[in-house]
Amino acid sequence: MNITVIGSGYVGLVSGACFAELGNNVTCVDIDSIKIEKLNKGIIPIFEPGLEQMILNNVKNKNLFFTTDFDKALQNSEIAFIAVGTPMGDDGSADLQYVLAVAKSIGQSMQKRLIVVDKSTVPIGTAEKVKVTIQKELNIRNSDLQFHVVSNPEFLKEGVAIADFMKPDRVVIGADSEIAFKKMKELYSPFLRSHDRLIKMDIRSAEMTKYAANAMLATKISFMNEIANICEKVGADANQVRIGIGSDQRIGYSFIYPGAGYGGSCFPKDVKALKKISKENGYNAKLITAVEEVNDAQKLVIAQKIVNRFGQDLTGFTFGIWGLAFKPGTDDMREAPAIYVIKELVRRGSQIKAYDPKAINEAKEHYLKGVQNITYGASKYDVLKDSDALVLLTEWKEFRSPDFEEIKLQMKTPVIFDGRNQFHTINLQEKGIEYHQIGKSCNTN
C-alpha cells in the first residue's frame, strides 16, 4: 500500500518505519529540509531503541523514502497520516496550526481519492476541521476528488515504541465511512494476525480515547504519589503499600510506583488540553485538575528533601545527578522532573554535576541551556567525585546495581536521594549510606 506520513518527528518516524517494515511503500514528508537531509544520510534525529536500524534497513530495501516535496509525497498515496506536532498553547490548549496547515496542503496537492488520518493527538472535533479545510481547498480548485478523514490515535510508549507499534494491544479507528474503515483494517491486519484488536468507533470517541487513556495513566501516577506523601506523614512505607494494592487485579501494578512525577511529551500536555476542553464545554474537571496539581508539586519533592537535609542555602554544596530524561529508554527531556529539581537546586546556590546515558545533548542544547553552575560527566561515577549527595531522577538500567563502595569512595558524604525508589529494597544502612526515598520517612535504610 502507498502511504504518506506527514511530519517526521517521533510519531511520524516510528509509524513510517513500522509500516515500511511490513512491506508498504512509505514516504515521510517534512518541511524541515535539514532534518530530511540528515534522514536521507541515515542520521536519525531522535533516540528510540531499534528505530535507527529499522529505518536504515527499509531505506536500503526501498520501502521508505524521505522528502520535502509535498506534491511528490502525495502523488500515488492511498492513505496520508498527519503526524505533526500539536504544541501546548499558553492557555493549555493544543495548537492546531500545523495540523490545519497540513490539511490545507493536502487539499491543494491531492490528485486521487485519499484517506486522511489524524495520527497526532488532537482535540475532539479536529477531524471535522481537517475535513472542512481540505474541502475548502478542493472547492477553490473546482475539484470533485473524494476523501475521508479518520482518527487513529497512537498509543506508543517512548523506549518501547517499536514493540508497541508492531504488536499493539489495540488499534483504535474512528471513522464515519465504511470505505475508510475497511482500508484502515486492511492496512493494520498484518499487525493483528494473532488477535484482532481493531476497535471501531465514531471519530469524536476515537479522539477522546487518546486523552482519556493518558489522563487515566497520569491519574494513577499522581494518586500513588499522593499516597506516598501521606505515607511519609504517618510513618508507613509507600513501597509496601504499592505491593498491597497492586496485588488487587482491579488495580494492578502498572503506573503505581512512587516517584518524582510524570513528564514527557504526552501526559503533561494531554492533561492540560483535557482540562481546557472540559472548560470550553462548560465542565469543571476537578479530578484532572488535581492530577496536574499533585504532579507539579511532586517534581519538587526531592528538591525539598535535599533542602531539609542540607538547609535553605545550598551555596557550597555539590550534587551529582543520575538521569535527565523523563524516563529510561529515551533522550526526551520534555517536562522531565530533572529540569525542575536541577533549576531549584541551582537557584539555591548549589553546583550540579549531571549524567545521563542519552539525554546530555538535549540538556545542553535545549532544556538546561544557559543554566549556571552545571557540568556534565562521561559516566555515572564521574559526577559523584566530591559531591555532597547523589540524586537519582531517571531509572536507567545501568543505575540499578551500582558499586556502592565506589559511590562512598567518590562522594564527600554518602547520601542518596532516590527520586525513583530504585534502591528501596537494598539495606543501605549496612553499607554506611544515608538514604532518602519517596514515600517513606528518612532513615538510613
Burial of 316 (0-12, 13-18, 19+ CB in 10 A): exposed
Long-range residue pairs from 274-280, CB within 8 A, at least 24 positions apart, any chain: 274/211, 274/212, 274/215, 275/92, 276/91, 276/92, 276/93, 277/93, 277/123, 277/124, 277/211
Q: Which residues pair with 395 in a beta bridge?
A: none
Neighbours of 381 (CB within 10 A): 18
Which grid coordinates are listed for 330? 529515551
* Pairwise CA distance, residues 388 & 66, whole Å: 49
Long-range residue pairs from 133-140, CB within 8 A, at least 24 positions apart, any chain: 133/100, 133/103, 133/104, 133/107, 134/103, 134/104, 134/106, 134/107, 134/110, 135/107, 136/104, 136/107, 137/104, 137/106, 137/107, 137/108, 138/107, 138/110, 140/107
Neighbours of 215 (CB within 10 A): 20
The one catalytic residue in 18, 28, 231, 266 is: 266
Contact 367, 336 (CB under 8 A): yes
Angle between helices 267-280 and 203-234 (to 10 degrees): 110
Neighbours of 397 (CB within 10 A): 9
* Active-site residue flag, 266: yes
Largest CA distance in the chain: 79
Residue 399: DSSP 8-state: G
* Pairwise CA distance, residues 428 & 390, whole Å: 13
Angle between helices 10-21 and 51-60 (to 10 degrees): 50
Element at 62 (helix H, strand E):
none
Tell me the torsion sign for CA atoms 383, 386, 387, 392.
positive
The beta strand positions in 147-279, using DSSP E, are 147-151, 171-174, 198-201
35: three-class secondary structure by DSSP: helix
Amino acid symbol at 148:
H
Contact 232, 439 (CB under 8 A): yes
Element at 272 (helix H, strand E):
helix 267-280
User: Mind telling me the catalytic residues?
Assistant: 266
